[in-house]
Amino acid sequence: MIKQMTAIAATGLLLAGCASPAAPVQEKVLGSSYTSIVKDANATTVRMYMWGGDEGINAYIDEYVAPKLKKEHKITLKRVPIETADLIQKLRAEKKAGKETGVIDVVWINGDNFRNAKKDGLLYGEITKVLPNMKYVDPQAQGSDSGTPTDHLEAAWGKVQYTFHYDQASVKNPPQDLQELKSWVKENPGKFTYPEVTDFTGNAFVRHVMYGLESKETLKDPKADFKKTWAYLNELKPYLWKEGKTYPKTLAQLDQLYAKGSVAFTMGFNERRAEQEVKSGTFPKETRPLILKDGSIASTHFLSIPFNAPNPNGALVTINTLLSPDAQFKKFDGTYWGDGTSLDLTTVSQKEQQAFEEVPAAESTPKPAAFEGKVRAELDPAIFDMIRKDWPERVAR
């Protein structure tokens, strides 16, 4: 028996010994010129870990970005779908275990996940200082991530607005503000719901209710009692899908309900996200956008590199490529994703600027004027936490 156990232990040690080769030193990578970074990144593999719940986004990476990187830098891009919160957990565990060479090269991140990663030192360093394409990026989008200063740790990849979408075939007179929405929900029981607040989009729905009902002082104070918000949500509750006894766990589930016609509304960050879904026949043909008078939160999402990325050179080249005007354009037009650009369009060439302006907007996309005077800044991340803590007790229960 001892012999067998020794053998097992020996195999274990052997496996542990087979770690990947060490990653290049961080100071050296961030201290070198972009030209030498490109040279070192040539013909390497880059693993990009990102939320994988949207077919259009996945197709953009797999069908457009990966071939582009292959052609320009011989880089093999591998996309790994993962929930962003799980990714932070993984990095935290690796940091704790002292694992200096991980497996993740590029992460897609924002909001409280960025705040957590920054607080725990899970990010690589001041990466934006070495990326040449940062010169195109809108400094306002780049400056802060839901109230947390980005400090060059991440690069703004896209900028979107929270937008409701509804099926015109079943909603003749769409509500224009929260009060009208409430009346509509009461008149059409079972046809509206929102994802539960552990979901990014569901949490944001509650923040929109806050923007509509709470005073400016309350909105600044995560410790305040958001009485009006909870009261509003409780008033909606009995008239929601499944009488509010349960909520979709994710935005993907809400989208499925909307696609099936079980509910008449869906919602989400990105004003253009319905274009692709309508074109592919997933969403109803008569899907239309709706921006409530109470405001629409603007959100920026970012790219970053983990502290223990095995291939930081490849990661930097990948991020720089994703910030290039042509990659941003392909992300913006309706082919795959339809995501708002993070670039300041006055900095790109005349021709590129024109291309952006000429992208036709589908009927499911709001006109720029629809946002006039309605754009709201993201609230303090502490409010996200407060909603997660209080909503189950004060609303769902």
Partner 1 sequence: MWRGNAWPATLLIAGMVGYGLFISLSMTTWGDYKQLSADPVFLESVGISLYVAVSSTVLAVLIGAGLAGFFAKQTGWAAQILAVPLFLPHLGAAYLAILYLSDFPVIGPHEVNQFSIILTYLYKEIPFVFFYLLPVYRRLDHRYEELGLMLGLSRIKRFWHGKGVFLLFPVLEAAFIVFAFTLFAYEVPALLGVTYPKLIGVYTFDLYTQGDLSRQPEAFAISVLLTGILFLLLLLFTRMIRPLTERISKGRIE
- Does 380 contact partner 1 by CB under 8 A? no
Q: Which two tokens stand for residue 242?
A: 């499944």
Which residue type sits at 66? A
Torsion sign across C-alpha atoms 290, 331, 82, 87: negative
**Least distance from C-beta 112 to partner 1, angstroms?**
6
Q: Please identify, using beta-carbon distances, which residue of 88 and 290 lies nearer to partner 1.
A: 88
Which stretch, 115-123, 304-312, 316-324, 344-352, contacts partner 1 (CB under 8 A)? Answer: 115-123
Q: Per-residue DSSP letters for 72-121?
A: HH--EEEEEE--HHHHHHHHHHHHHTT-SS-S--EEEE-HHHHHHHHHTT
- Does 198 contact partner 1 by CB under 8 A? yes
- Give the C-alpha separation, 275 to 361, whole Å: 8
Q: Strand 76-81 vs strand 45-50: parallel, antiparallel, or unpaired?
A: parallel
Which stretch, 38-46, 83-91, 163-171, 265-273, contacts partner 1 (CB under 8 A)? Answer: 83-91
Which stretch, 15-23, 84-92, 212-220, 313-321, contacts partner 1 (CB under 8 A)? Answer: 84-92
- Give the C-alpha separation, 46 to 248, whole Å: 34
- Does 247 contact partner 1 by CB under 8 A? yes
Which of 353, 321, 350 has its CA nearest to residue 134? 321
Q: Strand 154-167 vs strand 144-145: parallel, antiparallel, or unpaired?
A: unpaired
Report DSSP state, residue 65: I
Q: Please identify, using beta-carbon distances, which residue of 74 and 249 lies nearer to partner 1.
A: 249
| Of positions 115, 165, 191, 207, contacts partner 1 by CB under 8 A | 115
| Of positions 1, 22, 97, 369, contacts partner 1 by CB under 8 A | 1
Which stretch, 161-169, 242-250, 329-337, 369-377, contacts partner 1 (CB under 8 A)? Answer: 242-250
| Of positions 80, 82, 85, 359, contacts partner 1 by CB under 8 A | 85
Which stretch, 78-86, 136-144, 280-288, 292-300, contacts partner 1 (CB under 8 A)? Answer: 78-86
| Of positions 40, 94, 112, 275, contacts partner 1 by CB under 8 A | 112
Kindly tell me the burial class for residue 14, based on how many C-beta atoms sit within 10 Å of its own C-beta (0-12, 13-18, 19 or more).
exposed
Report DSSP state, residue 43: T
- Give the C-alpha separation, 387 to 383, whole Å: 6
Q: Please identify, using beta-carbon distances, which residue of 246 and 280 lies nearer to partner 1.
A: 246
308 within 8 A of 87, measured Cβ to Cβ: no
Restricting to residues 8-27, which ones interact with partner 1 according to CB under 8 A?
8
| Of positions 39, 249, 285, 367, contacts partner 1 by CB under 8 A | 249
Give residues in contact with partner 1 (CB under 8 A): 1, 4-5, 8, 83, 85-86, 89, 92, 112, 115-116, 119, 196, 198, 242, 245-247, 249, 381-382, 384-385, 388-389, 392-393, 396-397
